[in-house]
Structure 1
Amino acid sequence: MILEGRKLLVTGAQQGIGAAVALRAAEAGADVALNYLDDEAATRAIAETITGMGRKAVLVRGDVTDIGALPDMVAQAAEGLGGLDLLCNNAGIYPRQPILELEESIWDATLTVNLKANAFLSKAFALHCKAAGCAGAIVSMSSLAVQGWQDSAHYCASKSGIIGLTRTLAIELAPLNIRANAIAPGLIDTAQPRGGYTEEQLKELVAGTLAGRWGTADEVAETTVYLLSDTASFVNGQLIHVNGGAFFS
């Protein structure tokens, strides 16, 4: 129960890694605010599971690209949970497009969702913690793609940006007793990494890891919960790879 009494906001919580983080955090003792954009039914089902554990869960519908509305998202989460001291920046998109065909609109959309929203939601969260006088922790999702990936210049740029952003957040927010870390998931068995690949290509990619298999959203969630908890109180400004040894293939 390493998150006992903590209050967490998870973006993109309706599926995949976001849903796994929300559920694992609740198992670890946290109350959870579930941000979603377009699948209320799935999000509500996750909330019901969390309340079944005896934890509080609230739904916070909102588009993370609406930068001006992000302080309201934080305020709704804090009001619904009776406080807020943890943030998981998980919402992201991954539209494949080769660099020779890359459209400005795809670049802008990807950088806005994956990086800009992350920065400004972290800002809104930090301002809330400062006003409330509470310590806090932020975990943001980067990616294995920081090493470079086919048809993914825009995505790689956004996820590489998370690294610099996280390190700077750690430096600037340390006086407020707010830690910031990032996770770089590898090939995780969710819908996002499957886009644009055949099953044969996916098998080859997975075989290229030391683990020789897909990772699970729960494995990413376990690392997230650790980084959010006081167990990781001496871990700050770091990027943790959860990729089954992909860099050693």
Structure 2
Amino acid sequence: MPGKLDNKIAVIIGGGQNLGRSIARLFAAEGATPVVVGRTQAKLDAVVDEITEAGGTASAVVADVNSVADLDRLVAEVTAAHGGFDVLVASAGIFLNPEFAETTEDEWDQILDINLKSVFFAVQKSAPVISARGGGSVILMSSVMGVKGRPGSAVYSAAKAGVIGLTKGLAVELGPLGIRVNAIAPGFTLEPDQEHTIPDFIVAEMTKGLPAGRPGLAVEIARAALYVASDDASFLTGQTIFVDGGETAR
């Protein structure tokens, strides 16, 4: 049975862990060749091994997405190895929770750089290559925190709100190049390694009053990314999809 991403090359920034890892595994199961990107070779190799052991194909590129020079090198290496790529997932991120009155300039820069600035430049460097392949899909990772606030979340919320705005602007700008740009905004989600390690009282507090009554799972975010990346979403662009168990409906 054909996969939804057969013969697609998908660059997954942040693919060595967390949501990126789950997205890479599902994309490979649906016929894509993921190129997982991150700063730690061992984590990337582990994901590649998981995919190949399951019968898929994948490769890894070590890069610091905060470095524009590394992004240039990443795009050049993937183009040399695969002739370009069709899908970009910008899943790298950092969550810091500094108190408003104690937030330092370095913390501000760190949160905005990885969660917003690096996203913009990853798309800027990737767009010509995706367009040259006839177009494709760009998926940015936002958060429910982009539209909701919590104590200590001001800077993170600003960055994730920026991703939502960036999604709209880039969709308009890159549409003529055949590139769809969308964002996914997860709610409280457990990664595979967290499903049995986060204390029950924390899970209960984070899901209190949530319509779904439970936390999300990383694979559920990956399924949304699969839809957005595939031709099933061929008329979808400029949108942010909230996969949040109903949190933003409250």
Counterparts in 2 of 1:2 and 1:133: CA distance versus 1, 3 Å: closer
- Residues 97 and 151 in structure 1, CA contact (< 8 A), matched pair in contact too: yes
Q: Deviations over 1:176-202 (max 9, x none)?
A: 1000000000000039999xx975344
Q: Deviations over 1:63-106 (max 9, x none)?
A: 11012321211222233334311000000001110111111100
Amino acid corresponding to residue 150 of structure 2 in structure 1: W
- Residues 31 and 56 in structure 1, CA contact (< 8 A), matched pair in contact too: yes
Q: Deviations over 1:178-231 (max 9, x none)?
A: 00000000000039999xx97534422212211111100000000001101111
**How many residue pairs were aligned?**
245
Alpha-carbon distance in 2 for matches of 1:192, 1:235: 32
Q: Kindly report the root-mean-square deviation, in angstroms, between the aligned alpha carbons of the 2 structures.
A: 2.0
CA shift, 1:118, in A, is 0.2
- Residues 10 and 22 in structure 1, CA contact (< 8 A), matched pair in contact too: yes
Partner SS, residue 241 of structure 1: strand
**Which residue pairs with 2:234 in the alignment?**
233
- Residues 209 and 247 in structure 1, CA contact (< 8 A), matched pair in contact too: no
* Runs of 4+ residues deviating >4 angstroms: 191-194
**What does residue range 238-249 of structure 1 map to in structure 2 within 5 Å?**
238-249=239-250
**What does residue range 1-249 of structure 1 map to in structure 2 within 5 Å?**
1-38=3-40, 40-130=41-131, 132-146=132-146, 147-190=148-191, 200-249=201-250
Alpha-carbon distance in 2 for matches of 1:45, 1:192: 14
Alpha-carbon distance in 1 for matches of 2:193, 2:103: 19
Amino acid corresponding to residue 123 of structure 1 in structure 2: Q
Counterparts in 2 of 1:133 and 1:13: CA distance versus 1, 3 Å: closer
Alpha-carbon distance in 2 for matches of 1:199, 1:145: 22
Aligned sequence identity (%) = 36
**What TM-score, normalized by structure 1, do the two folds share?**
0.92
- Residues 56 and 81 in structure 1, CA contact (< 8 A), matched pair in contact too: no
* Structure 1 runs not aligned, ≥5 long: none
CA shift, 1:117, in A, is 0.4
Counterparts in 2 of 1:6 and 1:22: CA distance versus 1, 3 Å: same
**What TM-score, normalized by structure 2, do the two folds share?**
0.92
Alpha-carbon distance in 2 for matches of 1:192, 1:91: 17
CA shift, 1:14, in A, is 1.2
Counterparts in 2 of 1:57 and 1:80: CA distance versus 1, 3 Å: farther
Alpha-carbon distance in 2 for matches of 1:144, 1:172: 25
Partner SS, residue 207 of structure 1: coil
Q: Deviations over 1:126-155 (max 9, x none)?
A: 02224x342111001000111122201110
* Structure 2 runs not aligned, ≥5 long: none
